[in-house]
Structure 1
């Protein structure tokens, strides 16, 4: 497949979209065309979520506000086309896929507001749990639900699944902390339960729903056996079916209905906004790992730990523990525990250090009585605790990533009374043995809630039947223990066939009646929760095609990566890029050649060209999957031999390219000054309509600099390598000083002698080639860099400092490794050896070492720091913030800060990517004022300045200003 055509610096993007089908024609009369997605590509990537199902929709509509949802509900009713509302798409039971229209919420519905000094929080469904908690954090509060996927799971799904998590248990979930709800019914009527007039109107205008709910309420309350069964079943976690406890907990039909919507998975109405009561954050905490001889022993010990009232107790069996060995935060003792061991990770929480000490003392007395094979000491360090719990958060994806390539991950969650937890775990292990599954068990042991995971080849019908028989026995086991078949992940299609078995025919009859009352046309997420097909959990299972890379093929499509992706609001996310490859392979395997070609043509822009290749996805993926490796490979495969040859030639003569770029930048600045930036934007807008992509440098991008090399006096303390970014765009300081000037000033104050090599021009870290698919050029550039470094540093004796962290990352971590499949190394064998001996250091590390030698004379008051994607990837964000805190009174790091979308030249070619990347940050920083704003690369600083409206400088400028 041919790639972007490049001629004389102008890229012409070739993208063919799907023909105007009748459904699309109708939808674009209601919504902007760019928010209506009906192509083969988008229908494929939205056919899958975090579950093992695949349902291809007819269309996807990206909704921005409640009026959009109202219009979609009206359209659905008038056209008879089902709709499924989808937020983060991390759901595990098949409730966010459907064959009608997907109403996507994650690109809109971003509102969050705090009330009552933090006691209440209102939010829309397109924000994550972490984003809501970030708003509450300054008030010392948080929301109750705390799913392991809280960084990616959005509140629309949390409410619709009644998700709980590690600490929420039964009483701190969305159902029990709900204060009010704004919702839309199937008929388009909109209500807000916080308004008395709306509550009255609900009773008056919805007589069928109201009378039906009152009838069910009275019938349940008069049925002593069923009433007691409902009370008993909701003493443990239970989200199977609808929230029948609402008929016992509330009298008013409006309250009953609003609580039925919690956990209804979008099958009864649309939740537009919710207000929850919040909980205090207990800031003093301690965590500890206890290891037992078996998971049954660990499960039985939960009751012993209950007497100390821990905030959370998590069970991790041997398979889940071994899946995370080697990850940051995993204690070394995990590698030494006996085979078959299991662990309990528990957390103590208190409002004061004294109270925590008392809890630790009490816990120690309990632990002393337990039969352990190993343990760890109590950890009260926030960093160490975060590492431990991040390990637990990523168990699902980590275990799933260890499966055989091409097999399907199936994760179920069940709950029993904690007293039966040991029996449940023991019986599940017996079933694993009987059916030959290398099953994994982990979960919220304190609540009697465990998740179990199995992997199977679901492309083989005999294996599907094998799994079916296994699940039948699991269902019998859990029902026999009076447990919940779904504790917190939602019923979905995975357990829909078994809802009646858990609840009994009478209660199931009420569940069906609720669905009919609230969705008489059967258009709201049909087939989810209520489904008459006994085999729906065995049908439409997604194919996991093998792409051909050991790391990429580990992806289980959980969606943890999406919230940090710069293109999440405009094209595809990392998960969707991988899904696109798998779907394309499936189409080819099914000989659907035309659709496969149509998909791949659209993927050129949406998946390949618009990707920033920033690698942020790897920082949040439990398996460390960097989708940039896949995209770089895509770009390489799309290049012609001629373009590869030209790129290689450019790498060999990069010094000339560098000079030409400097000249082009000066010309661009002059044109901008004469015609204005808006005129250039208008010109580019018109050109893009012709599929011509003209680079648009940020207005704030600095000009090229002249490097004044220090006079040679003695052997240097370090070699300073000004990156090509700094050499070409380094004029970024508000005082007019370049990055190089600032580094040399600070070094001089500290008495450090830096040497800048005479022949530094033309030396590059190889990123411009490797991330654009030019392998030969990347190899030339990489070897040239190592050759130069080896010579400059006297065969590696002297450290070398790089002033742009993305370049440091490439120089340290990307030069000597394969990035996809069976691609060869960039470096020659000799340079691989030289590279390993080089002392390459990032400027931030150098500053940290240098700071004690500097006098802080001009401490700034309030500064803004935007850590770049590279800074995060190399693990230096906290270091940089720590330095800033020594130089300023208040340091603000936006909660929404990820990659700025610059991506070298990517943001210049596709400005919409920058707007997508910084959309949340623009809203977060609106109206705030700072004494200075700082980042870590010239292109990023210029991009941030233009988009955020704040003048960004290089981070070294903060150091220089504070130490004058």
Structure 2
């Protein structure tokens, strides 16, 4: 029957509220993408932060027979995180609990915990979780479990299936189960006896069928995530053990995974890596069996096409260009808890393959700078190929597995298929110890013939992997829609029938992620393919993997860079198809989400494997939207910035005075009236600062070193807030600190007129932005006496903007660098703080200032608190004054992470500090304040 989604929407909103549920066309489309090549637009999107909310969604789904797809981080590569009907996305604040047992042998993780976050908690204990997918810094535990994700080191012995201890589950019928809790098991026995009986009988009959049981064991001798985890039926008899392990790799089709407890595995303290360069793939493959020992943690195989793809690229070894055609490389890593054991391991490895001739000596290095280059070669394959693909094409990573003894021949056969089916760019690399190959192709899906070409290729892959080598069509990426048509071919009718019985037992109404894993449509793998229309060089390389989402400050508010890019691609596709009215309607509807609320922090570029820059594209799009009136206003501000800056500073002093005498209600009312008149009036907030002031140069002193100090706009415009402990402004603190360290301080006479240009660039006005930057650079250069004196800027974002292009011919540093490198050793530490909070924001990340900021704070405080999952404050220059919802959302979890009694926090950018102060309830100021107070002479 057809589903009345308007009624579904109404019922969901009645249960969860309007904010958690949307059918907005733009947002539904934006969230219809994962890391795969599929595009499936849901009817409704729900964000859930609690299991009770998931239960309510499932109750509505049962009532209306509406399908539900669960989604964690959406990094999935096989189309299992998108679906029709209701898309239930893990919220950005719930399911993030982490609990480690006293002996560190177990860790309990909420479904939304990112894998790398779990390992960060375990690292001091020399433990980690077993699964180690390449997406570990982005993917969430819910996805890791549901896909049985693995990686370079965990193989088939430390993946989720092997290391899961227990799980908290919510089933489609609303029943719950904690497989690690006896009381929960007893209750479930009463609630779902038929499921337990069915699973027990299926295990019994499978184990009794010797041929089938042997087939299952054989299939899992190598990596395999094709279909359901049938190995559970031969490995276990207890129905709760069966549920525990059947849910692993079930891709959200059996139950909602709320929480999982893993048995942790050792994390070695010492590592060493080596490049073994062989004449050909045959020799490289011969080296793999001897390497399958405890001495080898990972062995990654790269074929000749892979080597060619990275040769000559930034960060790659120069000697790659000297290798002859046909060369193959094994990148080998060894790990141990002490150096002696590591040395023994590396010697054992070298000796074990000494009988195979190599083109270069096998030399292990334990220097991270050296072996880091080796692994950059391996990890660089994907971004290099993805980034260099032709515009408008997709990038697809498939993963297959073979018996180790078949690897060389299988690689040759795969390479031949690339040529036969028109994908000459295809490369092969992978986890050699497990017989696991990844291959990358960059198909074009613009025409029907393109899709047919891809279908022929996949059919040929299936024939090769299944019929010729009896391998796995999916080794570690999950089945999804990409391989669903080939599950029965790989497993055979008897095993496939077993999978159908499992689905029927867990989800008889087929509400959970229908069409994933089991699908009778033989062409589902070539349907609902997403387009990849070219938009702009800044983002055309995007593969929609979602790596950017973790650090984006607006990901919870509305969109991440991935969402913005996929929306822009659809607008462009509609325009190219001649559907201009639809394109314009979507463009207008997407303005707030895509353009207006992007803070252009460019953290996405740091996280992105192919170096996309949504921030710069946003500024470019804003530039195209500038009206002549807006441009005139921006021109006036640039040409008369001295007066504008003075008015702003004086205005905030005046505003502070009005508030003091009239209170927030009247002041807020006046500001509201002002906003009706002009958009240049900000939203009122009681934590608004007073006005700032300019720095005063010091008396010249003979023999004292000279520094030129430029007070950036934020610090000279915005002074202390009501939460700050004193009324000293940043320019005054900086001059005091520099004088105390023995420096003569010079400041530009026309400081009020000078600016790095950031405020114009953020609006897309590059003409004035670049003009103001050049004006600043020239003015500062004139004060350096031919480059003799360094220049200090006291705001990280301004330093970044000033230094972003070539053209600064003198020493220009940020205040953080100067304090760390030149002041700390010249100042006597008089007192230390008990604890302080530290924010390391987007500009600090871009300038690699985080470690120095942390070092400064640790010099001055016994404990430094770094709130988690806050990478950018969302204030974005003056945007926080006019769109406060961005700053509020980005910092929504800040206050709850600050310990009781902590009353001061630090950063190095005044605008960001205003936002941090507003949403923390404590004073956030520049690190210079902390150093000044801790080195202030007694009695001063």
The verdict on a shared fold, with TM-score over 0.5 as the criterion, is yes
Pairing partner for 2:450 from 431, 445, 463: 463
Structure 2 counterparts to residues 91-102 of structure 1, below 5 A: 91-102=76-87
Structure 1 residue 610 displacement after superposition: 1.2
Answer whether contact 2:36 2:76 (CA < 8 A) is retained.
Answer: yes
Q: Does 1:481 align with 2:454?
A: no
Answer whether contact 2:903 2:922 (CA < 8 A) is retained.
Answer: no
Residue in 2 that maps onto 1:109: 95
Pairing partner for 1:174 from 160, 167, 171: 160
Pairing partner for 1:144 from 110, 126, 130: 130
Answer whether contact 1:145 1:165 (CA < 8 A) is retained.
Answer: yes
Residue in 1 that maps onto 2:406: 420
Residues 628 and 34 of structure 1: is their aligned pair in 2 closer, same or farther, counting only changes over 3 Å? same
Pairing partner for 2:59 from 69, 74, 84: 74
Answer whether contact 1:719 1:800 (CA < 8 A) is retained.
Answer: yes
Name whichever of 799-808 and 666-675 sits farther off.
666-675
Pairing partner for 2:522 from 534, 554, 558: 534
Structure 1 residue 876 displacement after superposition: 2.5
Q: Does 1:947 align with 2:932?
A: no
Q: Distance in 1 between matches of 2:393 and 2:764?
A: 30
Pairing partner for 1:442 from 405, 419, 429: 429
Answer whether contact 1:796 1:839 (CA < 8 A) is retained.
Answer: yes
Residue in 1 that maps onto 2:851: 878
Structure 1 residues not aligned, in runs of 5+? 1-19, 817-834
Name whichever of 733-742 and 900-909 sits farther off.
733-742
Structure 2 counterparts to residues 616-631 of structure 1, below 5 A: 616-631=603-618
Residue in 2 that maps onto 1:518: 506
SS in 1 for 2:925: strand
Pairing partner for 2:549 from 557, 562, 569: 562
Q: Distance in 2 between matches of 1:289 and 1:916?
A: 46
Residue in 1 that maps onto 2:149: 163
Answer whether contact 1:644 1:775 (CA < 8 A) is retained.
Answer: no
Answer whether contact 2:694 2:731 (CA < 8 A) is retained.
Answer: no
Answer whether contact 2:705 2:742 (CA < 8 A) is retained.
Answer: no
Q: Distance in 2 between matches of 1:932 and 1:310?
A: 48
Q: Does 1:721 align with 2:729?
A: no
Residue in 2 that maps onto 1:452: 439
Name whichever of 679-688 and 868-877 sits farther off.
679-688
Residues 334 and 375 of structure 1: is their aligned pair in 2 closer, same or farther, counting only changes over 3 Å? farther
Residues 800 and 58 of structure 1: is their aligned pair in 2 closer, same or farther, counting only changes over 3 Å? same
Name whichever of 530-539 and 894-903 sits farther off.
894-903
Q: Distance in 2 between matches of 1:205 and 1:683?
A: 61
Q: Does 1:37 align with 2:22?
A: yes
Residue in 2 that maps onto 1:827: none
Answer whether contact 2:283 2:356 (CA < 8 A) is retained.
Answer: no
Q: Distance in 2 between matches of 1:687 and 1:24?
A: 38
Q: Distance in 2 between matches of 1:179 and 1:558?
A: 29
Q: Does 1:495 align with 2:480?
A: no
Pairing partner for 1:260 from 219, 236, 246: 246
Per-residue Cα deviation, 1:47-98 (whole angstroms, up to 9, x for no partner): 2110001111111111111111111111111112211011111000001111
Q: Does 1:958 align with 2:930?
A: yes
SS in 1 for 2:792: strand
Q: Distance in 1 between matches of 2:671 and 2:312?
A: 48
Name whichever of 914-923 and 873-882 sits farther off.
914-923
Pairing partner for 1:51 from 23, 36, 40: 36
Higher relative contact order (CA 8 A, sep 6+): 1
Residue in 1 that maps onto 2:652: 665
Residues 792 and 348 of structure 1: is their aligned pair in 2 closer, same or farther, counting only changes over 3 Å? same
Q: Distance in 2 between matches of 1:488 and 1:933?
A: 43
Pairing partner for 1:789 from 777, 780, 783: 780
SS in 1 for 2:715: helix
Q: Distance in 1 between matches of 2:917 and 2:584?
A: 40
Q: Distance in 2 between matches of 1:336 and 1:43?
A: 50
Residues 706 and 159 of structure 1: is their aligned pair in 2 closer, same or farther, counting only changes over 3 Å? same
Residues 245 and 685 of structure 1: is their aligned pair in 2 closer, same or farther, counting only changes over 3 Å? farther
Name whichever of 218-227 and 676-685 sits farther off.
676-685
Q: Distance in 2 between matches of 1:920 and 1:931?
A: 16
Answer whether contact 1:45 1:579 (CA < 8 A) is retained.
Answer: yes
Q: Distance in 2 between matches of 1:690 and 1:802?
A: 35
Answer whether contact 2:302 2:329 (CA < 8 A) is retained.
Answer: yes
Q: Distance in 2 between matches of 1:488 and 1:366?
A: 28
Residue in 2 that maps onto 1:906: 879
Residue in 1 that maps onto 2:733: 742
SS in 2 for 1:110: coil
Residues 900 and 241 of structure 1: is their aligned pair in 2 closer, same or farther, counting only changes over 3 Å? same
Q: Does 1:547 align with 2:563?
A: no
Structure 1 residue 349 displacement after superposition: 1.6
SS in 1 for 2:161: helix
Structure 1 residue 617 displacement after superposition: 0.8
Name whichever of 434-443 and 401-410 sits farther off.
434-443
Residues 39 and 286 of structure 1: is their aligned pair in 2 closer, same or farther, counting only changes over 3 Å? same
Residues 302 and 513 of structure 1: is their aligned pair in 2 closer, same or farther, counting only changes over 3 Å? same
Name whichever of 631-640 and 693-702 sits farther off.
693-702
With normalisation by structure 2, the TM-score equals 0.92
Q: Does 1:60 align with 2:15?
A: no
SS in 1 for 2:565: helix
Structure 2 residues not aligned, in runs of 5+? none
Pairing partner for 1:120 from 106, 109, 115: 106
Q: Distance in 2 between matches of 1:726 and 1:655?
A: 15
Residue in 2 that maps onto 1:803: 794
Q: Does 1:272 align with 2:258?
A: yes
SS in 2 for 1:941: helix
Structure 2 counterparts to residues 793-942 of structure 1, below 5 A: 793-794=784-785, 796=787, 798-813=789-804, 815=805, 835-850=807-822, 851-860=824-833, 862-923=835-896, 925-927=897-899, 933-942=905-914
Structure 1 residue 847 displacement after superposition: 2.6
Name whichever of 567-576 and 309-318 sits farther off.
309-318
Residue in 2 that maps onto 1:582: 569
Q: Size of the alignment, in residue pairs?
A: 924
Residues 524 and 737 of structure 1: is their aligned pair in 2 closer, same or farther, counting only changes over 3 Å? same
Residues 370 and 585 of structure 1: is their aligned pair in 2 closer, same or farther, counting only changes over 3 Å? same
Q: Distance in 1 between matches of 2:500 and 2:378?
A: 37
Q: Distance in 1 between matches of 2:671 and 2:404?
A: 63
Q: Distance in 1 between matches of 2:543 and 2:602?
A: 18
Residue in 1 that maps onto 2:632: 645
Structure 1 residue 482 displacement after superposition: 2.5
Answer whether contact 1:767 1:810 (CA < 8 A) is retained.
Answer: yes
Residues 908 and 854 of structure 1: is their aligned pair in 2 closer, same or farther, counting only changes over 3 Å? same
Residue in 2 that maps onto 1:9: none
Answer whether contact 2:793 2:799 (CA < 8 A) is retained.
Answer: yes
Residue in 1 that maps onto 2:343: 357
Residue in 2 that maps onto 1:11: none
Q: Distance in 2 between matches of 1:843 and 1:273?
A: 44
SS in 1 for 2:258: strand
Per-residue Cα deviation, 1:494-534 (whole angstroms, up to 9, x for no partner): 00000011101110011112112222222211111000111
SS in 1 for 2:16: coil
Structure 1 residue 911 displacement after superposition: 2.6
Residues 705 and 688 of structure 1: is their aligned pair in 2 closer, same or farther, counting only changes over 3 Å? closer
Q: Distance in 2 between matches of 1:310 and 1:652?
A: 65
Residues 769 and 134 of structure 1: is their aligned pair in 2 closer, same or farther, counting only changes over 3 Å? same
Structure 1 residue 325 displacement after superposition: 6.2
Residue in 2 that maps onto 1:243: 229
Structure 1 residue 326 displacement after superposition: 7.5
Answer whether contact 2:21 2:47 (CA < 8 A) is retained.
Answer: yes
